[in-house]
Each structure stands twice: as C-alpha cells, then as structure tokens.
Structure 1
Amino acid sequence: MQKQGLSLKWLLVGSLITNTGISFIWPLTTIYMHEYLGKPLTAAGIVLFINSIVMIVGNYVGGYLFDRWQPYKTILVGITINVLSALILTFFHGWPSYAIFLIILSFGNGIVGTSINAFATLVQNRRASYVFNVLYFMSNLGLVIGTLVVGLVLPFGIEYIFALATGLFVIFWLVAALKFKVTTAKKRRKQTREAQKIPRQSANQIIGLLIVFVIAWVVYEQWQSNISAFMISHQMTVKDYSFVWTFNAIVIVVFQPVLTHFDNWLYAHIRSRLNVGFLLFGSSFVILMFAHQYWHFLLAMGVLTLGEILAFPGVSTYVDGLVPESQRGRYQGIVNAAASFGRAVGPLIGAWVIEFSSYHVLFFGCVLVLLLFLASFNLFTQRKQAEL
C-alpha cells in the first residue's frame, strides 16, 4: 500500500543532497572550460546557455510526467540521469565529453527540480507555502556547503568533484526509492482525466506573475555575471565580489527561518509578500546606481536577498493556490522553467545593454521594467477580483 503523503524531512533531505551535489559541478563550468580545457569564455557561455535551455525542457518534461505518469518513477528517472551523467564525467571530463554530459545532467536536474517542487504539494500536515519556504532554505544551504567543499577538493583533481557528486546523487536515489512512493499511478491518472481547466482569470494571473518572475531572474543574474566587472571597475577585488555572495548566504540562513515562522501570516497576505519582495529587488538596483564604496554593494545585496527569500518561494505558493491538484506538477514545472529561462537570457541581456550604453542604464532599466510589469500584474489581479 502506497502512502498518500510525503514526510517533510525526507523531502528536505533530498533537496539538501541534490543541491549540494549540483553545486559541486555548476560553479566550475566557466573556470574549468577556460583554465583546464583551454576553451574561450564565449564557448563556456554557449555551454551554459544550452544547459539552461535544456533544463527548461527537463522542467517541462518533469512536470508532465509527474501529472500524467507517476511522481515516484518521474523523480527516480531524473536522479538516474544525474547519477549516470556525473559518473561518466568522473572518468571522461575532456572536450567535448564534458560539455555533452554536463548538458545531459542539466536535463536530469530539470526533472528533479520540478519533481521536488511538485512533491512539496504532497507533504503531509504542512501547507505548501511552508514547505516551499523551507525547501528554498535547504537548497541554498546545499549550495553553500557544495561551494565550500569544492574549494577544498578541487586541488586534488576535478575527477574527485564528479565522484563526490555521483555519490550524493546515489544517496538521493536511495532516499527517493525508499521514501517517495506516495501515490498510485491509478489514482494519478484518474485525477488527470477528471481535471477541469483552470479558469481564465487564474491562468492570466499566473502568466502575469511568471512574466514578473522571469524579469526578476534576469535582474538577479546581473549579480551572477556583470556586476563583478562593475565592482572591479570601482577598484574592488574578486575576493570582495566573492564575499558579497557569502553575505548573500548568511542573510538567507538567518532570515529564511524567520519568514518560515510567520508562514501563516505570509500565506494570508501572499500578494503583499510578492509585492514587497519584488520591490526590494528593484530597490537593490537603485542602491547600485549610487554605489561607490564597498558597503554600498553589501547593502544592495542584503536588500536583494531579502527580496529573494520573500518573492521566489512565494511565486511557487501563489501558483500552487490557483491550480487543481492534478496539474500541480505541470505548473511547478512551468515555474521552474521560467526561472531557468531568466537565468539563461539574463547575462546576455545585461552584457548587450552594457555594451551599447552603460551599467547605470542597465540598473535603471532593471528597476523600470520590473516595476512596470509588477504594476501590471497588480492592476490585472485587482480588476479580476473586482469582477468576481
């Protein structure tokens, strides 16, 4: 007899393991391709772009299979792809095998990421909003652990990094195989057949929010790509830039549990939570427009991170509240795909704007576009509520 819900602790363990394993691999892509394989930075950029696009495909496939096939088997397929890809990379990490299996790993990771978010809606005795908050904390904790371990292990050889990642993915496969079998395929197919279409007003709200979400990720990616050069132009070092991300992790670790403690209130005011989060995103770039000293950049990152922990888990919660149970996997896949798309195009858009204008035009544009679409989302939502 299969269980009807998933224990939260096993979902969190799975999220921590998989995000730690993935963080062994992704941060090394540009450095490894350029410094170890001798490829130009443009080649690394192309590989990362393809990875993001393939992850979008994996997100969609994961959501489709979760709803139409079996949640349990869907996540096992995704983890199996990760295990095999990382294992092959342990022994074959030259060119072009490195790029090929990194892209395959990205597809598997897309399936796993969507499956984890969709499983969050099946956790027993916990509202999905609470689970999404804690998942976001665990995923970031995994990234922190992974990046710290990479710095210690990499001097011994890249193969040890891939071997560690493989080991973690195997552990996650075992956890999922033993603890994630929570619904029957028969029940899932029945739910799918009986599913009703999402009301048009709900679908339009989701579309409007996801547009804002994509823009937020485009904005966020400027910190991952172009702001490092902006800081260096202000006589700061790579070490200074690296610590900005350490500060990001500290803010998440400190404040995410606080938000989780107030989950009931945040759930009751979900739209306010989203608005405040995205407004903080915009405010961080207002600070950057006037930034000259290092503490200005730390302040901007702190404001951005508070916006991140408010808005990003809130998007998953908002969407989940508008869709029927039988389509939760599909729509969590769309949420993850939107994030992947923003990550894919963000660095390219930022570099293009900087090349043809300046950093300050980029920062101003980030604020303006984000505020315009956020205002449009709110106006549309208010109008639909008034009609109801």
Structure 2
Amino acid sequence: MLEKRIDPVKLQYLLLGSLIANTGISFIWPLTTIYLTTYLHESLTMAGIVLFLNSAFTLLGNLLGGFLFDRWHPYQTIASGVFIAAASSLALIFWHGWPFYAIFLLTLGIGNGILVTSLNSIATFMKSHNPSYIFNCLYFTQNLGLVFGSLIVGFVLPFGITYLFILAFLMFTSFEVIVITKYHGLNLVHGHNNQTKLNKVAKNHMNKAQFYQILAILNCVLCVWIAYEQWNSNISTYMLSINLSVQSYSLLWTLNALLIVIFQPFLTHFDDFLTEHLKGRLYLGFTLFAGAFLLLLFARSWTIFAISMALLTTGEVLCLPAVSTYVNDRADDSEKGYYQGIVQSVTSAGRAFGPLIGALIIDNSSYLILFIFCTFIVIISIIIFMLSNQLKLTHQRRNEVSDGTN
C-alpha cells in the first residue's frame, strides 16, 4: 500500500478539520486582552502574562504533539488534542470569571498545540501534492477560520461571551467527530515510520551549516511572532488611545483575512516556482514584516494602519507557510512530527513572549519604542538568516572542491 503513496487522510478532511479548529479557537484567544481588561478589569500587564502562559502551554502542547505523533500513534494524538480543546471550551461555558478563564485558557493551549502540530505533521505525509502546497492550503484554512470567527464574534458578543464558548465547544466537538470517522489511516503512517527506523543502521545527522540554517530560520520565526503578537494584543489598546474604535481594529483583521483569501490562490498556482525560489520568498516575506512595523511609527489614522496591515499580511502569506516547507525539506522521514513540533513550539514561544514584552515596553517607555524594537529584531533576524544561507553555500563549495581534488 505504501508504494501506492496514498494519503493517510483525504485532503478535504484535513483542510476541513483545520478550518473548524481554527474557527473554534478564534472565538476565544483574540478577545483575551479586551476581555481581561474591559470585562474582568485586570491590567494590561496581567493580560500579557495570561497570554504568555497560554502560549507557553501551547508550546508544551506543540512539543508533546510532535513527540507523540512520531513515537506513539498519530490518530490517537490528534484525537486527544481535540478532546482537550473541547473539554476546555466546555468548562469555559460555566466558569469564565477570574481566575478560571485564565486556567482553562492554559488547558486549551495544550489541546490546541497538540492538534495544530498534528495537522502540520499530517501534511508532511500527504502524497497527492507537494508538502509546500499542503502547507499553503493549511495556512489558508487557518486564516479563513479566523475570518469566520472574527465575523461571528462581532455579532454574538453583544449577547454575552458565554455564547462564544458554546460555539467553540461545538466546533471542537465537530472536529472530534471528523477525526474519529475520517483519520484512521494516520496509524499506517506510524507503522511505516517505525519500520523506517528499524531499517536504519545509523541516524543521519545534519552538518554544521544545515544546523545553523535551521537555527536561523527558527530565530526569524521567533522574532516575527514576537512582533506579530503586538497586533493581537497591544495595538488594539494603542488604537483606542488615539480615538479609533474597536470596530476599526476588528476591520483590520477582516482586511488581513481578505488579503489572504485573495493572495492564496496565486501562491498555490505558482507553488512550483515559489518552492524553487524558497529562500527569496522567505527573505521578501520577512522584510515586508519589518516594513509594516516601521510604518506604524507614523500611524495616526486608520488608513496608515490598514496599509501597515496590508504589508504585514503580504509578508505573512509569503514567509510563514514557507517556514514549514523549509524545515520539512531538511527533516528525516522518521522525525517529521518532531520538526513540525519544533516550528510550532517556536511560534508559540514568540506568541508567549510577544504580548508580555510589548506590555513591559509600553509600561516603561512608549508604543513608538515598541514599534522600533519590533522593526529592529526582525531586520537583525533576516541578516542572521541570510548569513546562515551564505555559510551553507560556502560549505557546499568547499565540499565540491574537496571532491574534485580527491
């Protein structure tokens, strides 16, 4: 059967699961800062701490999901992640005051971390399309889920936040049904991985240049997400401070999602070209990220925020899905889940530290210093990534010269 290269999960069910899961989670985490500060009357720093802990537990879930996907059973791994997320959202229906909201947000982070890593790990074993194509599609469904969630939140929140938790529970429960009925083929991947490991006499290790490349791309991911999380947390309060409304802030995320919907078909259509020029795609995407935060230094009207968001979104669709492809190209078949777990855990680390770092900078200086800081760390990470790729080229040339001499 393996020779036929059959997908362990049909593509439509993989993407549907991603769409449902991300819609469910978007009912909860984007509101955290506003909910804690406005409804529960906690400080901005406390909101940053809660988001930090949520992302830290998501990071734990990412690592656990990658480990279990490779070492245990993929099917049971993703089913467990969805179950934890569903149980957490169910608890939030009944207990969403302080500190229960924060507590169940942590368990939700573990479940979400496991299921997101599992989805990306499944993508590495899809045979009907290139991994880069699958990663682009997953990124599309992730953001489409954010669109649906954001739109629904605007209509439902006035009736009470309890209804949002109910909707999240229904989403995760629906995903669990899909996993139970459509994801059984995942354990065939597990059996194939175990056989691959048994057939190996020795594990292939990365050379030093490849190791530095992986570290450099992970550093970019960390810095980008530290910066990106300002949009999910502190920029909302900045816009309110300059007399822009919550609706104006929400509209920016609608713009973000709309641009992703527009750009995504082009990415999938030109997937072969973009894969061939993967490094250039990453360079451009990360650079646009830096430019978006540089522009925020001059943002005093909604139009400037919208242009900044457009730059951010373009950079996002170029580089973030490509990171998974970049790492997957360098990962051993028996450790696909582990490496995707590392990518997701670094993402979670950036999301964990981002709101907290932002809140601390704002409390001790200003929003403008925060925007300068975000621009600086992204630019430095790009330079380091470029140097690592140059080191790899130098290493290859030396090997070619050495082989020619021999």
CA distance in 2, matches of 1:301, 1:154: 24
Residue by residue, what CA displacement relative to the aligned partner does 1:125-145 show, whole Å, maximum 9, x if unpaired?
111101111111111111111
Residue by residue, what CA displacement relative to the aligned partner does 1:207-229 show, whole Å, maximum 9, x if unpaired?
11000111011111222233334
| Partner in structure 1 of residue 124 of structure 2 | 121
| Partner in structure 1 of residue 399 of structure 2 | none
Say which of 138, 141, 146 aligns to 1:138: 141
**CA gap 1:12/1:43 in 2 versus in 1, 3 angstroms:** same
CA distance in 1, matches of 2:176, 2:166: 15
Shift of 1:363: 2.6
Say which of 259, 263, 266 aligns to 1:255: 263
CA distance in 2, matches of 1:297, 1:104: 34
Shift of 1:232: 4.2
**CA gap 1:368/1:18 in 2 versus in 1, 3 angstroms:** same
**CA gap 1:37/1:289 in 2 versus in 1, 3 angstroms:** closer
| Partner in structure 2 of residue 186 of structure 1 | 191
Shift of 1:283: 1.3
CA distance in 1, matches of 2:30, 2:375: 27
Residue by residue, what CA displacement relative to the aligned partner does 1:323-361 show, whole Å, maximum 9, x if unpaired?
011111011111111111111111222233344444333
Shift of 1:37: 4.2
Q: Which structure 2 residues correspond to residues 286-305 of structure 1 after superposition, within 5 A?
A: 286-305=294-313
| Partner in structure 1 of residue 290 of structure 2 | 282
CA distance in 2, matches of 1:347, 1:113: 21
CA distance in 2, matches of 1:33, 1:355: 17
8 Å Cα contact 1:134-1:257 kept in structure 2: no
Shift of 1:91: 2.8
Residue 27 of structure 2 aligns to a residue in which SS? helix
CA distance in 2, matches of 1:285, 1:36: 29
1:370 aligned partner, one-letter code = V
CA distance in 1, matches of 2:31, 2:369: 30
Q: Which structure 2 residues correspond to residues 314-329 of structure 1 after superposition, within 5 A?
A: 314-329=322-337
| Partner in structure 2 of residue 24 of structure 1 | 27
**CA gap 1:82/1:35 in 2 versus in 1, 3 angstroms:** same
Say which of 205, 216, 220 aligns to 1:208: 216
Residue 198 of structure 1 aligns to a residue in which SS? coil
State the aligned residue count. Answer: 388
What TM-score does the superposition give when structure 1 sets the normalisation length? 0.93
CA distance in 1, matches of 2:58, 2:89: 16
CA distance in 1, matches of 2:57, 2:92: 18
Shift of 1:4: 5.3
Say which of 16, 24, 32 aligns to 1:13: 16
8 Å Cα contact 1:69-1:188 kept in structure 2: no
| Partner in structure 1 of residue 400 of structure 2 | none
CA distance in 2, matches of 1:368, 1:92: 41
8 Å Cα contact 2:45-2:356 kept in structure 1: no
CA-atom RMSD in angstroms? 2.2
Q: Which structure 2 residues correspond to residues 1-388 of structure 1 after superposition, within 5 A?
A: 5-182=8-185, 183-184=187-188, 185-193=190-198, 194=200, 196-200=203-207, 201-388=209-396
Shift of 1:81: 1.0
8 Å Cα contact 1:83-1:170 kept in structure 2: yes
Residue 122 of structure 1 aligns to a residue in which SS? coil
Shift of 1:30: 3.4
